[in-house]
A and B are shown apart, each in its own frame.
Chain A
Amino acid sequence: MGTNNDGLSIRRSETSDDAELADLFNRAHAHLAGTVVRSASDIAWRCRRQPGMPDDGGILVEDPDGRTVGYAFVKSNGDVTEFAVDPDGPRLATASALVTACEERALATGATRVRVNIPVTDEAVASILEAAGWVALRPQGGRYVASTDPGKLVGSLAAQAAMSARPITIVLSDPLAWQHEVTSVAGGTGLQILAGQRTLNEILLGGASPWKAVASRRLRIKPLVRTVSGVRYLKAVRVDAPWFHTLGDVL
């Protein structure tokens, strides 16, 4: 497709590029929560084999040194199912080149509109889209999450955050059939966190404040004098980065 005024080359991406694309996506979204980790086989399935994706639906942008700095996949109906820009490259120029290429590709396939999902925190790409005449839509759907076992999730997050040495016990007030009522993290019983699972979900995955849960008595910490430690612990293990989208669905 050629080279633009910023010296960036735009070409069709091939299957042999997939490992590089996966690496780029993972680096570009490493700071976010809720992205599905990409691999070459995942790109092949998610992007290339998705119904409605033409053979030339993949767009790749390279810098003057031949380094891949961005890519996108555009379906025949104009849905951009994948859009990633190298965080260490010329982001604005790359995003601008990709946006233009996506529109051209969509027009070539007869699409009458283009759509893309962009992380809410990515103000740079948002500014490029706005300047190109795109408009932000009101969300029509939402993502809902439930931990399969909040106690187990606390343990898992604590282990990954290298906090497993801290003794803590989670007591669920409303366990479901497959959940443990009591989960001991690191086998200790020195501090107990008692709550319903919705409250724990909201804190661990939804970004809710543990202090508010304590104040409204939906969360109790025993012994009472260690409430500050318990809240600090929950704040340390919870996931509070914004969630991105799953899978190849544009919606």
Chain B
Amino acid sequence: MRVRRIAPVDLEATTVAAIVDGAFGFYGGPYWQWKYADPGGPDAVIMLAEEGAEIVGCNHYLVVPYQLGEHTLTGLAGGDLFVNPEFRRQHIATDLSLESRMLVTEAHPEADFVVMFTWQALGSHYEKLLGYTKLKPGYQQWSKRLSWEPQLARLTEANEGLLTKHPGLARANHALRLEVKGAPPLDLKVGPEGFTPGRPDGIPKVRLRVSGPDALSFGRSGVPLVWMVAAILTRRWRFGGSPKALRQATSVIAAYREALRTLK
């Protein structure tokens, strides 16, 4: 594998922008163009990894002045490393990280440090293999859900499947008020139509209080029953309401599991 620096105006950069669209779903070519190829942005370093004539990956750095207390130091903000999906699981990311870091520090001897952002799952990799130190988190992310509309649309679409998989729903007739911290309350009717928006009067009601949107993050495989029990025991989930409605909810708990996953 060969690693070399390219300029945003090089032909290869266009290919990189196209690959980025496939490699990062949320990211896209326009975002890449803005971040690394905008003439009014900070100096960008684009490092290309090639295997023969094939582009197998890319890594990026921005040269930025960091304020550190009373000091201003030059930092290389690295990130957005990607490996062409066809060449994954060949240690290209590790090799590209190390090689590109060496090249970028040679090209920018004035730089004092390299800083990278990565997801928690990759953290130990960065510490053990790449020699980085984890920083104390200096910021806190805050969030507020303004509307449940997209989630409700997904839930409505999922109802048919829920009714087929969970025939017990046909016998249910209660209302659910979902109170997730950091979101407006959501009222649903649980019955032969599945989970439908609304809070009808005259039927027993269940209230589920969830400690925050994190507590609705179940991962890809859905909510394991054991996780649900743990959430209730640790009071991240708190059920309340009429005993009749709670009995009904318990009898269709598997359907609840899927519906709540849809509302994530």
Contacts and interface: CB of A to CB of B under 8 A. Distances in A.
Given A145-B133, A177-B102, A201-B133, A126 B68 contact: no
Interface stretch (B13-21, B81-89, B116-124, B238-246): B116-124
A63 B209 CA distance: 40
A139 B134 CA distance: 13
A145 B114 contact: yes
A114 B144 contact: yes
A138 B214 contact: yes
B52 interface: no
Nearest to A196: B131
Interface string A140-183: 11111111110011001100110000000000000011100000
A112 B212 contact: no
A148 B105 contact: yes
Interface string B44-62: 0000000000000000001
Contacts of B148: 112
A148 B124 CA distance: 20
A92 interface: no
A116 to B, nearest CB: 5
Given A112-B147, A144-B126, A135 B136 contact: no
B41 A45 contact: yes
B77 A135 contact: no
A219 B239 CA distance: 53
Interface stretch (B30-38, B197-205, B225-233): B30-38
Contacts, number: 242
Contacts of B137: 120, 139, 142-143, 242-243
Interface in B97-154: 101-102, 105-106, 111-120, 123, 126-127, 130-150
A146 B117 CA distance: 12
A146 B134 CA distance: 9
Interface range for B? 35 or more
B132 to A, nearest CB: 4
B105 A178 contact: yes
Interface string A113-151: 111111111000010010011111111111111111100
Given A147-B113, A243-B135, A247-B62, A135 B69 contact: no
B93 interface: no
Interface of A: 26, 29-37, 41-42, 44-46, 49-51, 78, 103, 106-107, 111-121, 126, 129, 132-149, 152-153, 156-157, 160-161, 176-178, 197-198, 201-202, 205-207, 239, 241-247, 249-251
Given A129-B144, A134-B142, A147-B112, 10 more contacts: A33-B68, A114-B144, A116-B141, A121-B138, A135-B212, A148-B114, A201-B132, A242-B136, A244-B138, A246-B66
Q: Which 5 A-B pairs have the closest CB atoms?
A: A135-B182, A144-B132, A242-B138, A243-B138, A201-B133
